Amino acid sequence: MNRKPSETASGTASWTSDDERWEAVTRREPQADGAFFYGVKTTGVFCRPSCASRQPRRENVAFFTDAAAARAAGFRDCKRCQPGGLPRELEIVNRACAALDADRQQRLTLAQLSDAVHVSPFHLQRLFKRVVGVSPRQYQAAQRGAALRDALQCGSDVTRATLDAGFGSPSRMYDSAPAELGMAPSAYRRKGAGLTVRYASASTPLGFVLVAATERGICKIGFGDDTATLADDLRSEFANADLLEDTVHLAPFIAQIDAYLRGTRQNFDLPLDIAATAFRQRVWEALRRIPYGETRSYSQIAEAVGTPRAVRAVASACATNPVALAIPCHRVVAKGGALAGYRWGLPRKAALLDNEAQHAGVFSRGPITRDERVLADADAGVGNGNGNGNETTTTKLDHAA
d(C-alpha 390, C-alpha 110), whole Å: 48
Identify whether the C-beta of residue 206 lies closer than 8 Å to the C-beta of residue 348: yes
Does 51 appear as a known binding residue?
yes
329 is catalytic: yes
Identify whether the C-beta of residue 385 lies closer than 8 Å to the C-beta of residue 401: no
Does 81 appear as a known binding residue?
yes
Does 154 appear as a known binding residue?
no
Does 219 appear as a known binding residue?
no
Residue 332's DSSP bridge partners are 296
* Active-site pick, 97, 219, 318, 329: 329
d(C-alpha 318, C-alpha 312), whole Å: 10
97 is catalytic: no
* Active-site pick, 47, 97, 219, 318: 47
Binding-site annotation: residue ranges for Zn(2+): 47, 51, 78, 81
Q: What are the residue numbers of the active site?
A: 47, 329
Binding-site annotation: residue ranges: 47, 51, 78, 81
